[in-house]
Amino acid sequence: MQSIFGTDGIRGRFNEEITYSLAYKVGYALGSTLENKNPILIGRDTRISGDILLQAITQGINESGKKFINLGICPTPAIPFLIKQENLSSGIMISASHNPPEYNGIKIFDHNGQKINKYFENKIQKLIEELNQNIEAPTKVIPQNTNKDLIDVYINSLIQTMGGENLSGLKIILDTCYGSATTCAKQIFQSLGADVRVINNSKNGLKINMNCGSTNLEPLKKALRENPADMGFSFDGDADRVIGIDSKGHVLDGDHILFLWGKELMEQKNLTNNLLISTQMANLGFEKAWNKIGGILYRTDVGDKYVHDAIKEKRAVLGGEQSGHILSKINNFSGDGILTALQISKYCKKKNINLNDWLKSSFKPYPQTLSNINLDFNIKKLNPKTKILIDQTIENFQALYSDNCRVFIRPSGTEPLIRVLVEAKNYEEVNSLSSEITNKLFLEINKIIN
């Protein structure tokens, strides 16, 4: 059996890769693995399939002899925070993050609020393989009681990270993308005194991430044009990522957030070894500008768990991904889009600078394009020999073009795609090379498969 775990937990299309039976087994295996008898915390995003997967997981946990607390719809970072705060045994978030509505996923956290390591994943996988019977889904979903007090604990913790600062005088637009941020983002910003307008703010699992949120910034840009504001923030489905937009429509992605936030920490002498942690996707312009002011950028594989591991290993205090997944010391390195948006807003208020001017002091990005090669097969389910051939082909392409540009190619950890990043000094070169590489690679992969 291939590993069911990808770059961020278990992910796939509901009723295909993510089934009731699998979710039950995950709940049972997690409960059976834990020595700690304290409850397991469970949350979910707004996806329609969340209810049935919640029932499956809780059924499995009950039959393992363990107890659970249902947080209901919540941001993913609420789970790790509350595990630590309430001394719980572990946690599960039912979410497919930035993926479309037909996807869902299961993210598992340990008793420290950290995403489980490979050893823990293997233990759960082994137990799942031993449970070889298929568990049938019930005809009716039974509603689960939710603990609403705990979400207030999480909300208050975010407000406290502001250290008594407020956001009065700032006009901010939020795109909660019909997902987890709908539960609390507006309330938090308003309680801090900001003048807040929110778009896509209903808990609609059929619309989550659809033409909105951190993967599609057009609705937020349109809202800023029609109702001018100081800045806007766009979250993904489970609110662990955020992308900002300034008053002129310029994008504040994860690279810019790391550069600007990192520079503030550097000036305060609070940035260990002037070190930032990011991934292979980070813009070369970011790296060069950061090096120029005396900083060090350490790159990892793509995935927040790799960033987290490097942060711990290097004793860094800030890291993240271009996609807007930012890990900071403030909340024990749990990616939290709302927390990140609050920190950016706080710096603008304290520095008495608008985001547009602050962003001008950031780096100039190298032209970069990210293309997807759609696959009609699951790359994780290929036989080892075929997978090795595809990996070798990808390596050959990266080496072949490395003299002219920076090329980074990787299979997606969550969707049937191969992602091709091309970066060069001008847009014409980037677009030409990107088109050439994706077309040739698509043909080569099809030759291998067929």
Mind telling me the catalytic residues?
A: 97
Token pair for 26: 């995950």
- Rounded to 5°, angle at Cα 176 from 183 and 207: 100
Q: Which of 100, 358, 342, 327 is CA-nearest to residue 213?
A: 100
User: 11 - beta bridge partners?
Assistant: 105
The residue among 148, 36, 162 whose CA lies nearest residue 82 is 148
State the amino acid at position 217 in one-letter form.
L
**230 in Cβ contact with 348 (< 8 Å):** yes
Q: What are phi and psi of 172, to 5 degrees?
A: -130, 135
Residue linked to tokens 């007090």: 149
Tokens of 278: 């990011």
Tell me the C-alpha distance between 274 and 258, whole Å. Answer: 12
Residue 162 exposed, middle or buried by CB count within 10 Å (0-12, 13-18, 19+): middle
The tokens for 380 are 């994780």
Element (H, E) at 441: helix 427-449
| Beta-carbon contacts of residue 226 (< 8 Å; ≥ 6 apart) | none
List the one residue out of 185, 174, 170 whose CA is nearest residue 230. 170
Q: Going by C-beta distance under 8 Å and a sequence separation of 6 or more, which residues neighbour residue 363?
A: 255, 256, 259, 283, 285, 286, 288, 289, 290
What does the alpha-carbon distance between residue 193 and residue 169 come to, in Å, rounded to a whole number? 7
Contact yes or no for 22/129 (Cβ under 8 A): no
The 3-state DSSP class for residue 392 equals helix
